[in-house]
């Protein structure tokens, strides 16, 4: 930006500057002379163009003009150099050498794979309080999915979550003066369709590794199995039950508790632990 | 109650006596929850002998107040205030206002609609 600023100057200074500069080129005078004429021309153009005629205004205009004047050689007459403006030079920068395709793709919309069957495999929800971060990260996720060969749909903008709070500004007496606060959570849904489950895992791991600040992620993953699954699960159930039995039998019990005290109700009810509320005076009162 | 209180301070952040007390209550409740639930189960189970159920009722009423869940009260982590504490931030309303205006709560802005 700092490099471009002289041109901005030119545009900002506006009509009066252009008139003045053209005068320099026409006259082809030494620098010291132009300064003396500058005062006159600047003030004249101001008064003629905007009907102000203010001395202070012309002064500020000249202070704006000066940095450009200094660049011109002092002793020689001002010569117009064939320097193109920055915008033009930047436009021509990629004429001879192009960027790598992958880098160039960053300037275009993210590429997508086509889904063959359209079976949803993974739902990734991104949440953030700022649109910029969210959009950026959603874009990043799309590109990562492309290079992992994952067909993707989205980002779908889900409804915003708006939370609002109202509080009195000070004590309860001043209930009439309250203040509202809000927090708007923005959401994007990215769905992966019929991708390889390992690739999906890799994608999610990659996104976690490169997690962006202020963007939260939540993923639902679905896996598809053969129709034999129910049968296999029934077969595996017996063994699972056997393994779980010792844990389930002790459900709701303390881990440190021994099996001896488990049984009797009367023992439990006479437990010292239950009547631990005996304070220092409880014994004195009873005795 | 001092018998339950930790001998060494086991809290950090904003601390006052009421916060320590509430913290102690939370710990005691967690510690005695299985007993309380067992007694409640005995009281409600109509298949058990009436004597045991009555005894369980007495035992439950005899248990220390700190073992009750109703003793626990949410307090502001930044100022210890017990009123108007916002659950999402665990901060009371004035602290919330100050922090929100200072931009310390992510995403919270002044609203106008």
User: What integer pLDDT is reported at residue B43 of this predicted model?
Assistant: 94
Quick check: A64 and A10 in contact, CB under 8 A? no
Same domain, B21 and B68: yes
Same domain, B55 and B85: no
Same domain, A159 and A199: yes
CA distance linking residue A125 with residue A138, whole number of Å: 10
The answer to whether position A205 is within a domain reads yes
Does residue B45 surpass a pLDDT of 50?
Answer: yes
Q: Which domain holds residue A22?
A: 1-97
> Cα–chain-centroid distance for residue A46?
46
Across the interface, whether the CB atoms of A129 and B106 are under 8 A apart is answered: yes
Number of domains chain B is built from: 2
Q: What is the CA radius of gyration of chain A?
A: 38
Across the interface, whether the CB atoms of A269 and B1 are under 8 A apart is answered: no
Same domain, B88 and B59: no
Same domain, B57 and B81: no
Residue B31, chain A, CB below 8 Å: the answer is: no
User: What integer pLDDT is reported at residue A82 of this predicted model?
Assistant: 76
In B1-92 the beta strands, taken as DSSP E runs, fall at 85-86, 91-92
pLDDT digits (tens, 9 = 90+) for B51-74: 989 999 998 998 899 999 999 999
Residue B54, chain A, CB below 8 Å: the answer is: no
In B67-110 the beta strands, taken as DSSP E runs, fall at 85-86, 91-92, 108-110
Same domain, B68 and B78: no
The answer to whether position A75 is within a domain reads yes
The answer to whether position A232 is within a domain reads no
Quick check: A186 and B107 in contact, CB under 8 A? no
User: What integer pLDDT is reported at residue A16 of this predicted model?
Assistant: 36
- CA-based nearest distance A31→chain B, Å: 53
Residue A160, chain B, CB below 8 Å: the answer is: no
User: What integer pLDDT is reported at residue B105 of this predicted model?
Assistant: 93
Same domain, B30 and B58: yes
Name the pairing type of β-strands A152-168 and A178-193: antiparallel
Mean per-residue pLDDT over chain B, rounded: 92
Q: Which domain holds residue B98?
A: 74-105
Name the pTM for this structure: 0.61
pLDDT digits (tens, 9 = 90+) for A43-63: 444 444 444 344 444 444 444
CA-nearest residue to B30 within chain A is A254
The answer to whether position A132 is within a domain reads yes
CA distance linking residue A34 with residue B35, whole number of Å: 98
Tokens of B24: 């102690």
- CA-based nearest distance A207→chain B, Å: 22
B102 contacts in A (CB within 8 Å)? none
CA distance linking residue A112 with residue A152, whole number of Å: 7
Residue B93, chain A, CB below 8 Å: the answer is: yes
Same domain, B28 and B56: yes
CA distance linking residue A270 with residue A9, whole number of Å: 92
Is ipTM strictly over 0.95?
Answer: no
Same domain, A187 and A207: yes
> Which of the listed residues A177, A204, A221 is the one where a domain comes to its end?
A221
Across the interface, whether the CB atoms of A265 and B107 are under 8 A apart is answered: no
CA distance linking residue A271 with residue A250, whole number of Å: 19
Query: Of A164, A269, A276, which has the smallest distance from its Cβ to B55's Cβ?
Result: A269
The CATH number linked to A170 is 3.30.70.600
Local confidence pLDDT in tens for the 287 residues of chain A:
333 343 433 333 333 333 333 333 333 334 443 444 444 444 444 444 444 344 444 444 444 444 444 444 455 667 777 777 777 777 776 666 777 888 888 888 888 988 888 889 999 999 999 999 999 999 999 999 999 999 999 899 999 999 999 999 988 899 999 999 999 999 999 999 988 889 999 999 999 999 999 999 999 999 888 888 888 888 999 999 999 988 888 776 766 666 555 567 777 777 767 766 555 555 555 44
The answer to whether position B9 is within a domain reads no
Query: Of B38, B63, B96, which has the smallest distance from its Cβ to A167's Cβ?
Result: B96
Across the interface, whether the CB atoms of A277 and B110 are under 8 A apart is answered: no
User: What integer pLDDT is reported at residue A41 of this predicted model?
Assistant: 43
What is the band of B17 on the pLDDT scale with cuts at 50, 70, 90?
very high
Phi, psi of A110 (to 5 degrees): -60, 140
Same domain, B40 and B88: no
Same domain, B33 and B60: yes
Mean pLDDT score, B69-85: 93
Residue A181, chain B, CB below 8 Å: the answer is: yes
CA distance linking residue A100 with residue A111, whole number of Å: 15
Number of H helices and number of E strands within chain A? 11, 4
Residue with tokens 């006479």: A270
User: What integer pLDDT is reported at residue A283 of this predicted model?
Assistant: 53
B52 contacts in A (CB within 8 Å)? 265-266, 269
State the alpha helices, DSSP H only, in chain A. Answer: 5-13, 15-27, 31-50, 55-71, 86-91, 101-104, 131-147, 197-209, 229-249, 265-269, 282-286
Residue B103, chain A, CB below 8 Å: the answer is: no
A262 contacts in B (CB within 8 Å)? none
The answer to whether position A211 is within a domain reads yes
Same domain, B84 and B35: no
Same domain, A204 and A113: yes
């Amino acid at each position: 930006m700092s490099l471009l600023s002289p041109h901005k100057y030119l545009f900002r200074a506006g009509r009066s500057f252009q008139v003045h500069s053209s005068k320099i080129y026409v006259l082809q005078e030494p620098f010291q002379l132009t300064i003396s004429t500058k005062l006159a021309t600047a003030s004249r153009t101001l008064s003629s163009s905007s009907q102000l005629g203010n001395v202070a205004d012309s002064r500020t205009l000249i202070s704006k003009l000066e940095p450009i004047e200094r660049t011109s050689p002092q002793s020689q007459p001002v010569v117009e150099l064939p320097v193109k403006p920055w915008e033009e030079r930047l436009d021509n920068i990629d004429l001879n050498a192009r960027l790598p395709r992958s880098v160039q793709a960053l300037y275009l919309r993210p590429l997508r794979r086509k889904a063959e069957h359209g079976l949803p495999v993974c739902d990734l929800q991104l949440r953030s309080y700022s649109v910029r971060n969210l959009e950026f990260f959603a874009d990043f996720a799309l590109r990562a999915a492309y290079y992992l060969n994952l067909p993707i749909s989205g980002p779908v903008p889900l409804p915003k979550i708006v939370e609002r709070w109202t509080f009195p500004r000070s004590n309860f007496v001043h209930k009439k003066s309250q203040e509202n606060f809000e927090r708007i959570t923005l959401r994007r849904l990215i769905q992966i369709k019929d991708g390889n489950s390992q690739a999906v895992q890799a994608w999610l791991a990659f996104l976690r590794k490169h997690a962006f600040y202020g963007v939260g992620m939540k993923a639902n993953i679905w896996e598809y199995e053969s129709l034999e699954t129910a049968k296999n699960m029934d077969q595996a159930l017996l063994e699972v039950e056997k393994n779980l039995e010792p844990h389930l039998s002790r459900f709701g019990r303390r881990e440190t508790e021994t099996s001896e005290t488990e049984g009797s109700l009367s023992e439990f009810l006479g437990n010292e632990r239950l009547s631990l509320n005996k304070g220092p005076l409880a014994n004195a009162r009873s005795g | 109650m001092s018998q339950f209180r930790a001998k060494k301070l086991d809290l950090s952040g904003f601390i006052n006596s009421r916060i320590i007390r509430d913290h102690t209550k939370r710990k005691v409740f967690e510690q005695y929850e299985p007993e309380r639930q067992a007694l409640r189960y005995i009281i409600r189970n109509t298949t058990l002998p009436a004597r045991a159920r009555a005894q369980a009722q007495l035992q439950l009423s005899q248990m220390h107040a700190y073992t009750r869940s109703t003793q626990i009260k949410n307090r502001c982590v930044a100022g210890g205030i017990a009123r108007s504490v916002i659950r999402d931030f665990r901060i009371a309303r004035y602290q919330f206002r100050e922090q929100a205006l200072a931009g310390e709560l992510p995403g919270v802005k002044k609203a106008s609609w």
